């Protein structure tokens, strides 16, 4: 799980619940296929898993996780059936699918009959179908409550020492390259490093680049100057890509800060020298990225006097 702000925990739970429900639907299809191929024990087992994953989709939404199936089932009954949040009739269906699966998988020589396997599919389907509208409404509600990264992002200058896995960097760069650019010229070239020596040298290219020194990973957004449709817009394009980087990092529970490099020639040249940039590449900014030590709330900067209606 992506650890960090409660924003991430909420997103994690929402994604996990959706994933569990997808698995439930997949297992239901598999159970049907196995039934049609005459594998009754296997089909009964998969039907049970369809029902179980659907229950997990509900319990994990509320943060309950248990390695034991019996733990999930009794929690589900306690929290959602006993309280009439969901139809109490589900209880019997759950018990039946659980018991038949126990026989199908673990009871020596037990052969699940065609009727039993069909009933098992019907029960699992009924459980999945009953839970679906409840889950959809919970997902929709939860999505409305998950705050937008635009309004939670703040600059992070202190990072934990743990590394940032490359999968996160790739997500961040995917966000960067989703930015708009003049004539769609996409002038960006991204340099990535976790090399301590390079990071230390980058932290000295400006009096304000100190936060780079603490970072486990550093992204240096650069741009090329050859073949651009509107070269004078390249740095504006890079600003937008940079904002996408900062927002995606926030979304992932990471922290980052933009270090001002362009348009100051001395800083741009210092970065170019460290990274050995080709002549036609220009350094735009430096962005240290890592897991934040502290997360502070964003201040509300909305200022009505700055809005001019004409
Ligand atoms: C163009 C630009 C240059 C910046 N340069 C630096 C910098 O060199 N060092 C730094 O620590 N922060 C730098 N920042 C971050 C700002 O200080 C920060 O965005 C501002 O104080 C507002 O705080 P917030 O990002 O937490 O909302 C820069 C931000 C921008 C947009």
Which of 91-105, 138-152, 215-229 shows the lowest mean pLDDT across its residues? 138-152
* Ligand 1 binding pocket, CB closer than 6 Å: 154-155, 157, 206, 208-209, 211, 257-260
Question: Reduced to 3 states, what is the DSSP secondary structure of residue 217?
Answer: strand
170 in the same domain as 239: yes
* Residue 305 CA to ligand 1 centre (angstroms): 23
255 in the same domain as 139: no
**Domain CATH code at residue 128:** 1.20.120.330
* Residue 256 CA to ligand 1 centre (angstroms): 10
Give the contacts of 20 (CB within 8 A, at least 6 positions apart).
53, 54, 56, 57, 60
Specify if 154 maps to a domain.
no
Question: Reduced to 3 states, what is the DSSP secondary structure of residue 218?
Answer: strand
61 in the same domain as 30: yes
Residue 4 has pLDDT above 60, yes or no: no
Question: Reduced to 3 states, what is the DSSP secondary structure of residue 71?
Answer: helix
135 in the same domain as 45: yes
End-to-end CA distance of the chain: 49
Number of separate domains in the chain = 2
Specify if 90 maps to a domain.
yes
Specify if 108 maps to a domain.
yes
How far is Cα 160 from Cα 307, in angstroms, rounded to an integer? 39
* Residue 184 CA to ligand 1 centre (angstroms): 26
> What is the tens place of the pLDDT at every residue in 40-76?
999 999 999 999 999 999 999 999 888 899 999 999 9
225 in the same domain as 124: no
* Residue 252 CA to ligand 1 centre (angstroms): 20
Residues 202-214 have a mean pLDDT of: 97
Question: Reduced to 3 states, what is the DSSP secondary structure of residue 57?
Answer: helix
Residue 7 has pLDDT above 90, yes or no: no
**Domain CATH code at residue 241:** 3.40.109.10
109 in the same domain as 172: no
Protein residue closest via CA to atom 3 of ligand 1 = 260
212 in the same domain as 86: no
Q: Ligand 1 pocket check: which of 259, 262, 283, 285 to mutate, most ligand atoms within 8 Å of Cβ?
A: 259
Report which of 299, 252, 245 is spatially closest to residue 4, judged by C-alpha positions. Answer: 252
140 in the same domain as 24: yes
Specify if 126 maps to a domain.
yes
283 in the same domain as 243: yes
Specify if 249 maps to a domain.
yes
Specify if 229 maps to a domain.
yes
200 in the same domain as 69: no
How far is Cα 94 from Cα 23, in angstroms, rounded to an integer? 17
Domain, as residue range, for 197: 166-290
Specify if 156 maps to a domain.
no
Is there a contact between 189 and 278 (Cβ–Cβ < 8 Å)?
no
Protein residue closest via CA to atom 12 of ligand 1 = 259
pLDDT at 148: 87
Q: How confident is the model at residue 3 (pLDDT cuts 50, 70, 90)?
A: very low
The answer to pTM > 0.75 is no
> What does the longest C-alpha to C-alpha distance in the chain come to?
82
107 in the same domain as 226: no
> What is the tens place of the pLDDT at every residue in 134-158?
999 999 999 888 878 999 999 999 9
Specify if 310 maps to a domain.
no
Of 92, 110, 145, the one marking the end of a domain is 145
* Strand bridging mode 285-290 / 259-260: antiparallel
Report which of 295, 272, 293, 288 is spatially closest to residue 213, judged by C-alpha positions. Answer: 288
Which of 7-21, 68-82, 183-197 shows the lowest mean pLDDT across its residues? 7-21
118 in the same domain as 63: yes
């Amino acid at each position: 799980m992506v650890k960090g702000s409660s924003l991430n925990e909420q997103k994690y739970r929402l994604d996990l619940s959706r994933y569990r429900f997808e698995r439930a639907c997949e297992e239901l299809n598999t159970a049907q296929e196995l039934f049609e191929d005459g594998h009754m024990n296997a089909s009964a087992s998969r039907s049970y898993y369809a029902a179980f994953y659907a229950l997990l989709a509900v319990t994990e939404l509320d943060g309950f996780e248990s390695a034991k199936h019996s733990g999930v089932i009794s929690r589900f009954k306690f929290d959602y059936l006993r309280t009439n949040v969901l139809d109490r009739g589900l209880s019997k269906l759950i018990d039946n699918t659980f018991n038949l699966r126990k026989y199908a998988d673990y009871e020596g020589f037990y052969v699940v009959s065609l009727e039993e396997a069909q009933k098992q599919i019907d029960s699992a389907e009924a459980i999945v179908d009953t839970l679906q509208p409840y889950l959809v409404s919970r997902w929709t509600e939860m999505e409305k409550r998950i705050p937008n990264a635009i309004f939670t992002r703040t600059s992070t200058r202190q990072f934990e020492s743990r590394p940032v896995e490359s999968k996160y960097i790739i997500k961040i760069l995917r966000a960067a390259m989703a930015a708009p650019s003049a004539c769609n010229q996409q002038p960006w070239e991204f340099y990535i490093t976790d090399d301590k020596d390079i990071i230390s040298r980058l932290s000295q290219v400006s009096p304000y680049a100190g936060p780079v020194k603490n970072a486990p990973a550093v992204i240096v957004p650069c741009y090329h100057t050859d073949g651009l449709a509107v070269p004078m817009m390249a740095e504006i394009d890079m600003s937008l890509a940079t904002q996408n980087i900062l927002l995606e990092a926030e979304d992932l529970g990471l922290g980052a800060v933009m270090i001002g490099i362009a348009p100051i020639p001395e800083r741009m040249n210092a970065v170019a020298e460290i990274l050995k940039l080709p002549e036609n590449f220009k350094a735009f900014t430096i962005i240290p990225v890592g897991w934040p030590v502290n997360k502070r709330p964003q201040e509300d900067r909305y200022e009505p006097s700055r809005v001019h209606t004409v």
